[in-house]
Amino acid sequence: MTISKTYRTVILTGLLMPMTLFILGCYNGVMQTIYRAGIIHQASVGGINYYQGLTMHGVINAIVLTTFFAVVFGHVTVSYYLKREPPKLTYQISMLLMVIGTLMDLAAMITGKAQALYTFYAPLKDSPFFYIGTALLIIGSWIAFFGWIKIWYDWKKENPETKMPLAVLGTFVNFSIWLICTLPAAYETLIILTPWSLGWTDSINVPLTRMLFWMFGHPLVYFWLLPAYVAYYTILPKVAGGKLYSGNAARLAFLLFLILSMPVGVHHQFSEPVFTPGTKLWASLLTYAVAIPSFMTAFTVGASLEFAARRRGAKGVFSWMWKLPYFEVDRYLFGYFICGLILFIFGGLTGIVNASYTLNQLVHNTDWVPGHFHMTVAGPVILVILGMSLYMYSTVSGKELKFKTFAVMVPYVWLVGVALLSHGLMSGGLMGEPRRTNLGLSYTNPASPLFNQHFVPTTSTTLVGGIIMGAAAIIYFIVFFATAMGKRVNEPQLILPESEELNEERDVPLFNTMKPWLILSIVLVMTTYVPALISVFKYSKAVPNKYQPDSPQNLQK
Ligand code: HAS
């Protein structure tokens, strides 16, 4: 499909800008492993302190890159399947707000005015610039969604009998979750945190800000994941040389995410004293339920891969796994997708450990948690972002992919890096190694009375994993930027590999509409958050904030 020059520019900007920032995000990630392994015993390096770097790492990699990608991939999938562009004003304003918001966040982080990590709740305080910038980034992403809704209605008028294409359903489910879950975040940042940060209010209800953040913070992880699932269901079977095993199963999985992604945020707060055991038990049960659509995905995508392998001549019960196009240069996307899936098996299983209230008491706030989330975020999420960014940049710009062999290598090197990093983090976590701590100043510093020799092998494994991930990232940046700087050799076009469904399945009307699922999702959110809110107001209140990061008590001697 040919697209207008303005739309093309917006898509390419939405790929280029976050990818450039991702260099800074990755640098700060590798620095984390260096600090924590005790290679350096300093509070800062090159003018960036530990928490400033950790904030940049989390905000750039997990909020900026993922949101830009969801929007750009949404533009590409929705336009490709509905064969039209969204209204120009929507995609232009959306991108403008996202770019301005990101620049504000970046300015606040680089100047050290935002160091409260990517989980921006009180009592840590950021500059109002950061809160407003983040709000603009989010509002910009909403506007892109409004543009897609408009073209969906236009398309539906012309195609009343055709059901919503699967990729469009996945994208709409994702952005509906996003729209609902960002409302508490918008309230938290704009109504509570910004006035507090400007000094207009001098007291703050800490548990309330934490609850509002996690109402957003858990659905956020599915907002990262669902673009990857759209790619797994609608692109991967084709790239593997097969077909999608069941379209209905895929539709049901997306719709289950719509109802179950939002009411589970309290599982990040099992240690929070304000919530009742009943609320925590309910959140735990719903968290097990939200794993179901991922189990379904494992089976549907697994069956699609087996079908592809058998089509390529595979025979045995398990040996079909070797008949997939792991290293084929023309199918380089396959490596990014499969490595993400392999990591996600372990990312998902560790998530199920976290969901248990009792086991959570052992792992909460230890390095186990970043071990879990690197196999999810740095697994399927980032790997699909990396692969699809290469694909979309080269097709939409008409430029040829450069250094193809390198492009094929990247996901495998990355996989080894993430596996080692997460193994080091999780084994340390089980021994109580704390997360979000500059261990090089204490537990991994032989000169410190807190030195703990058990954390040396675990943080060293994490360091090796981090360095391997850094090497994979460097190879990737060479491929991406060489492609972006290359000459146009093909006609620019908006195109996607499109998987067919294996069987013509019976139409299930409930799978072709989002309305009942949306209503159910709001009901389920209320079942968790009405009792949670009652507890917050019953057991906590706004108090003056005594914590100041630059107070002499908090400065390192
Ligand atoms: Fe999580 C904490 C529970 C999924 C991200 N999670 C986090 C944090 C992040 C995060 C960032 O219950 C830390 C937040 C912070 O900073 O404090 N998580 C879960 C559960 C799931 C889960 C039950 N998490 C994710 C995903 C994330 C993510 C997805 C990002 C994208 N998580 C928790 C809990 C905590 C938590 C607690 C709080 C911990 C604490 O105490 O602080 C589930 O959704 C997971 C279900 C997944 C599966 C896996 C399915 C496997 C598939 C692969 C199939 C492979 C194939 C390949 C087909 C059941 C789909 C075949 C191979 C061949 C070779 C052919």
User: pLDDT tens for residues 523-537?
Assistant: 999 999 999 999 999
Distance of CA 379 from the midpoint of ligand 1 (Å): 10
**Token pair belonging to 314:** 């595979």
Task: Report helix, strand and coil shares of the chain as percent, to nearest 5.
Answer: 70, 5, 25
pLDDT in tens, 232-247: 999 999 999 999 999 9
pLDDT-based confidence at 202, cuts 50/70/90? Answer: confident
CB 377 within 8 Å of CB 425: no
Residue count of the chain, please give it: 557
Query: Locate tokens 């600090």: which residue?
Result: 35
Phi/psi at 204 (nearest 5 deg)?
A: -150, 140
Name the residue type at position 490: N
Q: Which of 145, 373, 443, 480 is catalytic?
A: 373
CA triple 335-336-338, angle to 5 deg: 65
Q: How confident is the model at residue 544 (pLDDT cuts 50, 70, 90)?
A: confident
pLDDT score recorded for residue 555: 56
Question: Is 435 a known active-site residue?
Answer: yes
- Ligand 1: residue whose CA is nearest its atom 43: 291
Tens-place pLDDT, residues 116-175: 899 999 889 999 999 999 999 999 999 999 999 999 999 999 999 999 999 999 999 999
pLDDT (0 to 100) of residue 551: 63
Q: What is the pLDDT of residues 277-287, one digit of tens each?
A: 999 999 999 99
Can you give the pTM of this predicted structure?
0.96
Report whether 376 contacts 345 (CB < 8 A): no
Residues with CB under 6 A from ligand 1: 119, 221, 224-225, 267-268, 287, 290-291, 294-295, 297-298, 301-302, 305, 321, 341-342, 344-345, 348, 351-352, 354-355, 360, 364, 369, 372-373, 376-377, 381
What is the rounded average pLDDT of the residues 187-197? 94
Mean pLDDT of the chain: 96
Contacts of 390 (CB under 8 A, 6+ apart): 332, 401, 407, 479, 480, 483
Looking at residues 35-48, what average pLDDT do you find? 96
The band of 449, judged by pLDDT with boundaries at 50, 70 and 90, is: very high
Q: Residue 423 Cα, ligand 1 centroid: separation in angstroms?
A: 15
Give pLDDT, residue 553: 57
Between 212 and 546, name the one with better pLDDT.
Answer: 212
Q: By alpha-carbon position, which residue is closest to atom 20 of ligand 1? A: 351
CA 537 – CA 492 distance, rounded (Å): 56
Catalytic residue among 222, 275, 391, 393: 222
* pLDDT tens column, 499-514: 999 998 999 999 999 9
- Whether 436 is catalytic is yes
Predicted local confidence at residue 548, as pLDDT: 65
Would you say residue 557 has pLDDT above 70? no
488 is catalytic: no
Q: Helix or strand or coil: residue 291? A: coil
**Nearest residue to 54 (alpha-carbon basis) of 98, 5, 122, 118:** 118
Please report, to the nearest 10 degrees, the dihedral formed by the alpha carbons of residues 184, 190, 192, 198 taken in order.
160
